């Protein structure tokens, strides 16, 4: 039996909502199948606050076992480092985390707020919010860069706004089976298996992207990169391969540009979300792995070579069927 405690810090609850959308198996079957005992969850447990206080005290005195501590939401340090913006069971939430982080075998940050500060730390960061072991791209965060859980792993960051339910459940299974190693994590402590692709990979608009056949406004079929702010080429996630909600959807499949929600720099580093900033005709933020000079050269050529089928459809609101030109006999 694996004992899991889920706590919520400064958050909107979207990670829990996303988790409840897990399929094959659903959430209850998932707990049963992998022998996970959910000690307590703020939305899902019927206990009142008195009961959770008893649980927290027992865990702190090591009268109960704690295998996996999941934290959803940013740690609020304000005002002025007191943590009093977020009180939980009579004391600043952050103090519970200090106690429990020492005792848990694994510590998991779910959602970009818990990982890197995310929405909670955006703008002027009035709440003095931070992620558990990162603040944006800088290692350290609330627990400091040397933190290790009892199994000698750093905080495991399941980034996303929200995180895909598979990213959460498959990571928990890997921990429940003691199979996750530090080499399975990337530089931002995210499990590589979910974050080594780009959201752009397998987007159905890829062919439009290759020929720089771009949508001019929403609901058109072209690529959303050149004009509508899509960050899919800069965002590490497997959204368009894994797919969401009955395995049919993704942001770009729904016509919504990727806003790079799994990145440590989200959200402030990707503003404006729905507009592509450019110098001349060149977007200021380019695909992660393409040098600027190459991009400029290749995109110019690609536009010249763009088939009419893509050119017409890129700015059309519904598919336009064009007859393929016949291949001349001497071209065969
Ligand atoms: S819409 Fe975004 S993710 Fe899709 S092909 Fe264009 S840049 Fe890539
Ligand atoms: S496509 Fe981009 S913005 Fe949408 S969920 Fe995936 S990573 Fe987040």
pLDDT, residue 218, reads: 95
pLDDT, residue 175, reads: 98
% of residues, the chain, pLDDT over 70: 96
Q: ∠ at Cα 201 (197, 207), nearest 5°?
A: 160
Q: Whose structure tokens read 């913006």?
A: 85
Q: Whose CA is nearest to atom 7 of ligand 1?
A: 225
Residue 237's pLDDT band, with cuts at 50, 70 and 90, is very high
Element (DSSP H or E) covering residue 212? none
Measured CA to CA, the distance from residue 97 to residue 184 in angstroms comes to 24
Q: Whose CA is nearest to atom 8 of ligand 2?
A: 261
Measured CA to CA, the distance from residue 172 to residue 70 in angstroms comes to 9
pLDDT, residue 328, reads: 61
What's the DSSP call for residue 197? S
Ligand located closest to 240 CA: 2
Q: Whose CA is nearest to atom 1 of ligand 2?
A: 258
Q: Is it the case that residue 293 has pLDDT exceeding 80?
A: yes
Q: Which residues line ligand 1 at a C-beta cut-off of 6 Å?
A: 199-200, 203, 205-206, 209, 223-225, 230, 232-233, 252, 258
Q: Whose structure tokens read 């090591």?
A: 62
pLDDT 10s digits, 268-289:
999 999 999 999 888 898 888 7
Q: Is it the case that residue 124 has pLDDT exceeding 60?
A: yes
Q: Is it the case that residue 69 has pLDDT exceeding 90?
A: yes
pLDDT, residue 267, reads: 98
Domains of the chain: 2-193 (3.40.50.700), 206-314 (4.10.480.10)
pLDDT, residue 46, reads: 82
Q: Which of 240-244, 304-308, 324-328 has the lowest mean pLDDT?
A: 324-328
- Average of pLDDT values for 180-192? 98
- Average of pLDDT values for 251-261? 97
Tell me how far the alpha carbon of residue 213 lies from the centroid of ligand 1, in angstroms: 11
pLDDT 10s digits, 132-150:
999 999 999 999 999 999 9
Q: Which atom of ligand 2 is nearest to the CA of 244?
A: 5
Element (DSSP H or E) covering residue 288? none
Tell me how far the alpha carbon of residue 307 lies from the centroid of ligand 2, in angstroms: 29
Residue 20 C-alpha from the chain's centroid: 16
Q: Which of 37-46, 200-209, 238-247, 286-295 has the lowest mean pLDDT?
A: 286-295
Residue 295 C-alpha from the chain's centroid: 27
Q: Is it the case that residue 47 has pLDDT exceeding 90?
A: no
pLDDT, residue 96, reads: 97
Tell me how far the alpha carbon of residue 260 lies from the centroid of ligand 2, in angstroms: 6
Tell me how far the alpha carbon of residue 261 lies from the centroid of ligand 2, in angstroms: 5
Instruction: Give residues with Cβ within 8 angstroms of 194, minimum separation 6.
Output: 158, 164, 166, 167, 170, 171, 237, 238, 242
Q: Which of 122, 121, 131 is nearest to 157 (CA)?
A: 131
């Amino acid at each position: 039996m694996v004992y899991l405690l889920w706590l919520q810090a400064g958050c909107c609850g979207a990670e829990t909502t996303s988790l409840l959308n897990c399929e094959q198996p659903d959430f209850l079957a998932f707990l049963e199948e992998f022998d996970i005992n959910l000690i307590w969850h703020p939305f899902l447990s019927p206990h009142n606050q008195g009961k959770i206080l008893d649980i927290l005290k027992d865990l702190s005195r090591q009268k109960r076992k704690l295998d996996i501590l999941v934290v959803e939401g940013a740690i609020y340090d304000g005002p002025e480092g007191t943590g009093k913006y977020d009180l939980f069971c009579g004391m600043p939430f952050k103090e519970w985390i200090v106690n429990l982080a020492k005792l848990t075998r694994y510590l998991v940050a779910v959602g970009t707020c818990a990982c890197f500060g995310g929405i909670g730390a955006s703008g002027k960061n009035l709440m003095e919010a931070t992620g558990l072991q990162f603040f944006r791209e800088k290692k350290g965060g609330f627990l400091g860069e040397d933190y290790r859980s009892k199994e000698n792993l750093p905080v495991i960051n399941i980034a996303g706004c929200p995180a895909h339910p598979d990213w959460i459940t498959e990571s928990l299974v890997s921990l429940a089976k003691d199979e996750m190693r530090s080499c399975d994590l990337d530089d931002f402590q995210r499990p590589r298996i979910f974050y080594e692709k780009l959201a752009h990979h397998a987007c159905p608009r890829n062919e439009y992207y290759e020929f720089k056949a771009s949508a001019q406004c929403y609901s058109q079929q072209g690529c959303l990169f050149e004009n509508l702010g899509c960050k899919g080429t800069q965002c590490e996630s497997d959204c368009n391969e894994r797919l969401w909600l009955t395995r049919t959807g993704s942001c770009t499949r729904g016509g919504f540009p990727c806003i790079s929600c799994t990145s440590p720099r989200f959200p402030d580093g990707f503003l404006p979300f729905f507009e592509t900033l450019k110098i001349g005709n060149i977007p200021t933020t380019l695909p992660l792995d393409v040098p600027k000079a190459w991009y400029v050269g290749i995109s110019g050529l690609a536009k010249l070579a763009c088939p009419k089928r893509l050119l017409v459809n890129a700015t059309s609101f519904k598919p336009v069927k064009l007859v393929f030109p016949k291949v001349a006999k001497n071209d065969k």
